[in-house]
Structure 1
Amino acid sequence: MTENVDVVLIGGGIMSATLGTLLHQLQPDWKIVAFERLSDVAQESSNAWNNAGTGHAALCELNYMPQQGSAPLDPAKAISINEQFQQSRQFWSSLVEKGVLDAPSTFINATPHMTFVRGEKDVAYLRKRYEVLREQPLFAGIEYSEDSRVINKWAPLLMQKRRKGEPFAATRVPSGTDVDFGALTHQLFDHLTASGVDLRLNHEVRGLKKQKDGDWLVKYRTTIGRTPNQIKARFVFVGAGGWALKLLQSSGIPEIEGYGVFPIGGQFLKTTNPKVVAQHQAKVYSQASVGAPPMSVPHLDTRVVDGEASLMFGPFATFSPKFLKQGSMLDIVTQVRPHNLWPMLRVAFANPDLITYLVSELVKNHRKKVDNLRTFMPGAEDEDWTLIDAGQRAQVMKKDAKKGGILQFGTEVVSSADGSIAGLLGASPGASTAVPIMLQLLQKCFPEQFPGWEAELRSLIPTFGESLNADAEAAARSTAETAEALGINA
């Protein structure tokens, strides 16, 4: 007899963990089953070493506020990203207070966010960006300097052996964060399983089929023994990283037509040399290379994983046809359908700079990669740094009325018209904005239940439905309260 449940979550990453936690808080009587094809959760993109651990709040990331010709800089996107991260901070704070999450230092640590640029053009841009953002309540406390002595105090490694006479500038926001999304995911799933949610590891979902009664038949098998089985669910969430596309395609929903994904892997240089690590306490971002995708923006980061501090620099792009680190070499081919072939071809034709960038990255040896690091850290020594493989990112390709097809950087929820199934495609800022993304999903997929959930949601996320940046007092109060609850700077 086929098992019946309320919700099936596919994928053991931060997205499924966040949605499962929200649903359990809002509807504790619902039966939830989560499937993960690997032997543990948080082994793909949510793993601490498969991402940069940045709490994305647009404090240092220039691609959220690009210069568009001679037009004035528009802070709207940066404000939006910051607003979203504030919701994540509030939700995590509530879960710490409820005992759902462990001590905050196990998953989040205060780490100043900096931007560092060189050359007159980029210095002028960063100065304008600072002047615009300093007026925004959510960016209160942002600092700017072109003085090597000041920047040396903020991040000494940036200034050591720096060539004299070179124009440079930096901004700094002390309230930035480093987040271990792997630890966060584990803690959320630990609480869910302790509360009755059924987490099935080593279980791979193979197909999704809509039934006449409106439920979804989820076909799966064990990865050990290959034993097939099936389960019925009223709602299905596909949070399987790059494989989300393949599973949504198998569902047959028309909303997935025209979508494809382009896999881009990454690597980071890492050091645990205590003498080097002790001299850098920040996440420092700069400008992406010409033709490089936004996700390739170079940054030198403090990381705190399992209580141990290290530094990472990158990312360096790699290429694999796999949609996941532990995916299939045929992924990039088996995604092709008549409805997405043309959009994907248009993306290929329209992005020759991306192809050139990928090729240039693939031919870099270790010394060339450390040479890239030396633009940030002139005194970097080759032997201090080792190369680690990061996660696979499946960038969204989709049809476009004007261009035929576009490559989209960011995340996107794709759901059926009746809201009975939804999946997440794309990458950064991803994990940092898991909470607002899942709130939008709840609102869209559960329109009947959502009004009854709003009071509980506001207890978990006090400013839900409000604009913090529009109220300076509220913004200051919220950031101070979550900083105290999470043990980070305000």
Structure 2
Amino acid sequence: MSDRQTKTDVILIGAGIMSATLGTLLKELIPDWNITVFEKLASPGEESSNEWNNAGTGHSALCELNYTVEKPDGSIDISKAVKINEQFQVSRQFWSYLVNSNLIRNPQDFIRPLPHLSLVQGEKNVSFLKKRFEALSNNPLFKGMEYSEDPRKLMEWIPLIMNGRVSNEPIAATKIDSGTDVNFGALTRMLFDHLKRKDVDIHFKHNVDDIKRNRDGLWELKVRNLDSGTVERHTAKFVFIGGGGGSLPLLQKSGIPEGKHIGGFPVSGLFMVCKNPDVIEQHHAKVYGKAKVGAPPMSVPHLDTRYIDNKKSLLFGPFAGFSPKFLKTGSMFDLLGSVKPDNVLTMLAAGAKNVPLTKYLIQQVMLSKEQRMEELREFIPNAKSEDWDIVVAGQRVQVIKDTPTGGKGTLQFGTEVICAADGSIAALLGASPGASTAVSVMLDLMKRCFPQHINEWEPKIKEMIPSYGISLLEHPELIREIDFSTAQTLGLHSELALV
């Protein structure tokens, strides 16, 4: 064991997209701060941020039906869709700033234009989609969205899905060309390459075993070198826990009151991956359907064109699964170990409330490949089993907490930042829309954790993100300007370029 101790300004735990984004923002705002990163795996972006462990969708609510809810009076609530779209615009602006400043290069290596479609069948679902289209299409953030119930038009948009379809059920789709495919693994690696050039101290194969507050107010981390087995102590004024599913156990070890009464429930994912180049070439879009009754929101079925290692791929899923691990590389005892005296009642309440979800997950785990192929054939009627393989995607830990509206043991499906009252430590929990909104989430974290600096940082933040602090909906001219400029820089499709 080593007694070596080091002191730094900021420690980032986990080398995923969130730590990469926060580290990059901080280095632009206060270049002289010392930043240290600890990652237990051998390279950045290997867990949730890895391109094989997420859907690769630039989540901007263009096609994701779970972000628009039908209210009891039949109207469509688009408030969540608007919020997520605005957050993605923030990410686009920041990525454009990095490219224009030559801090990262070749944006096509991590982001590409790709149409986003929503596809539904059945009278009730067609009615919902039409109302959703009418609610969104007049909004400048969703300009360019098209709607059709005409099979001939749908054959133009999605030939692979329409070919061989014999159902007499009504079918409808919306399409918008300004969607994106994002390789968050590639982006994470690019950002960490940039941080390394900025002298950020990055340690791979280093696991944070423990974390505690010292009497001097600094946070002390017990860090183990996984190659040598040596243990070191590192202290910092500020700590960000961005370890994906591994964040909850470290938040609990910190002992902050804000981390009490919070639990986590792990859900794993599987994707079908096409290995027939002829089939892959017949599809060019991300097509999202509607989640089945009883299925969690992150199980919305979708057929995705993806670009991985600059190669076109085709994925279908996700199929939900269950493992007690909080990370793909985690331990079978992660779930059990996360149950503490302060959250045991919350966890038990969640179990009682979510019997249908548990039943759904068991059913999903028991599916054979041929049963999964039958679900795929709802999208691609002529799909052949020999053209598709199964790949295990990432683990997502859904937050469980007590809420005023949901009561004790409410399962949350979003992204959540837990901060200490004094802002000295913060942890990111939850999942989708996650990576797509990383910049917005990290800006909010900085506002909460560094309130004393925000005013002096604001001019630089506005240089990086022109819409910072502004509601885009109230400034349609700014939407046009941002859409056009970021599309040019990142090589994307702009619906507003000629407006």
Per the TM superposition, whether the score is higher than 0.5 is yes
Q: Which residue of 1 aligns with 2:368?
A: 365
Q: Which residue of 2 aligns with 1:292?
A: 295
User: Counterparts of 1:433 and 1:374 in 2: how far apart (Å)?
Assistant: 32
Matched to 2:278, the amino acid is K
Aligned residue for 1:391, secondary structure, equals: strand
User: Counterparts of 1:461 and 1:249 in 2: how far apart (Å)?
Assistant: 34
The 8 Å contact of residues 343 and 400 in structure 1, kept in 2 or not, is answered as no
User: Counterparts of 1:279 and 1:157 in 2: how far apart (Å)?
Assistant: 6
Q: Which residue of 1 aligns with 2:308?
A: 305
Q: How does 1:15-34 map to 2 (within 5 A)?
A: 15-34=18-37
By how many angstroms is 1:135 displaced?
1.1
- 1:100 matched to 2:108? The reply is no
Q: Which residue of 2 aligns with 1:376?
A: 379
Matched to 1:488, the amino acid is L
User: Counterparts of 2:473 and 2:311 in 1: how far apart (Å)?
Assistant: 34
Q: Which residue of 2 aligns with 1:6?
A: 9
1:474 aligns with one of 460, 469, 478: 478
Matched to 1:241, the amino acid is G
By how many angstroms is 1:403 displaced?
2.1
The 8 Å contact of residues 275 and 389 in structure 2, kept in 1 or not, is answered as no
1:329-350 per-position Cα deviation (integer Å, ceiling 9, x unaligned): 1000010111111111111111
Identity %: 52
Q: Which residue of 2 aligns with 1:277?
A: 280
1:232 aligns with one of 232, 235, 239: 235
- 1:179 matched to 2:182? The reply is yes
By how many angstroms is 1:30 displaced?
0.3
The 8 Å contact of residues 104 and 486 in structure 1, kept in 2 or not, is answered as yes
What is the aligned length?
Answer: 490
Aligned residue for 2:442, secondary structure, equals: helix
- 1:111 matched to 2:77? The reply is no
Greater CA deviation, 15-24 or 147-156?
147-156
By how many angstroms is 1:164 displaced?
4.6
Matched to 2:227, the amino acid is I
Q: Which residue of 2 aligns with 1:329?
A: 332
- 1:391 matched to 2:404? The reply is no
User: Counterparts of 2:215 and 2:173 in 1: how far apart (Å)?
Assistant: 59
Q: Which residue of 2 aligns with 1:88?
A: 91
Aligned residue for 1:48, secondary structure, equals: coil
User: Counterparts of 2:77 and 2:402 in 1: how far apart (Å)?
Assistant: 27
Aligned residue for 1:390, secondary structure, equals: strand
By how many angstroms is 1:469 displaced?
2.0
Q: Which residue of 2 aligns with 1:317?
A: 320
Aligned residue for 1:161, secondary structure, equals: coil
RMSD: 0.9
User: Counterparts of 1:329 and 1:290 in 2: how far apart (Å)?
Assistant: 29
1:424 aligns with one of 418, 421, 428: 428
User: Counterparts of 2:275 and 2:167 in 1: how far apart (Å)?
Assistant: 29
Matched to 1:132, the amino acid is A
By how many angstroms is 1:71 displaced?
4.2
Greater CA deviation, 66-75 or 213-222?
66-75
The 8 Å contact of residues 69 and 78 in structure 2, kept in 1 or not, is answered as no
Matched to 1:335, the amino acid is S
1:64-105 per-position Cα deviation (integer Å, ceiling 9, x unaligned): 111133342111110000000000000000001111222111
The 8 Å contact of residues 151 and 159 in structure 1, kept in 2 or not, is answered as yes
Q: Which residue of 1 aligns with 2:345?
A: 342
User: Counterparts of 2:167 and 2:216 in 1: how far apart (Å)?
Assistant: 72
Aligned residue for 1:280, secondary structure, equals: coil
By how many angstroms is 1:166 displaced?
1.9
Q: Which residue of 2 aligns with 1:248?
A: 251
Matched to 1:238, the amino acid is I
User: Counterparts of 1:270 and 1:211 in 2: how far apart (Å)?
Assistant: 49
Q: Which residue of 1 aligns with 2:497?
A: none
TM-score by length of 1: 0.99
The 8 Å contact of residues 222 and 233 in structure 2, kept in 1 or not, is answered as yes
User: Counterparts of 1:317 and 1:172 in 2: how far apart (Å)?
Assistant: 26
1:64 aligns with one of 62, 67, 86: 67
1:129-173 per-position Cα deviation (integer Å, ceiling 9, x unaligned): 000001111000000000111111111111011115220000011
User: Counterparts of 1:321 and 1:184 in 2: how far apart (Å)?
Assistant: 29
Q: Which ranges in structure 2 are unaligned for 5 or more consecutive residues?
A: 495-499
Q: Which ranges in structure 1 are unaligned for 5 or more consecutive residues?
A: none
User: Counterparts of 1:449 and 1:471 in 2: how far apart (Å)?
Assistant: 27
2:454 aligns with one of 447, 450, 455: 450
Q: How does 1:44-193 map to 2 (within 5 A)?
A: 44-193=47-196
User: Counterparts of 2:252 and 2:320 in 1: how far apart (Å)?
Assistant: 27
User: Counterparts of 1:145 and 1:421 in 2: how far apart (Å)?
Assistant: 49
User: Counterparts of 1:25 and 1:271 in 2: how far apart (Å)?
Assistant: 41
| Structure 1 segments (4+ residues) deviating >4 Å | none
1:158-201 per-position Cα deviation (integer Å, ceiling 9, x unaligned): 10111152200000110000000000000000010111001000
By how many angstroms is 1:408 displaced?
0.2
The 8 Å contact of residues 414 and 425 in structure 1, kept in 2 or not, is answered as yes
User: Counterparts of 2:332 and 2:366 in 1: how far apart (Å)?
Assistant: 21
User: Counterparts of 1:248 and 1:482 in 2: how far apart (Å)?
Assistant: 36
User: Counterparts of 1:18 and 1:123 in 2: how far apart (Å)?
Assistant: 39
The 8 Å contact of residues 259 and 398 in structure 1, kept in 2 or not, is answered as yes
Aligned residue for 1:328, secondary structure, equals: coil
User: Counterparts of 1:12 and 1:118 in 2: how far apart (Å)?
Assistant: 41
Distance 1:93 1:221, change over 3 A: same
The 8 Å contact of residues 343 and 399 in structure 1, kept in 2 or not, is answered as yes
User: Counterparts of 2:26 and 2:222 in 1: how far apart (Å)?
Assistant: 23
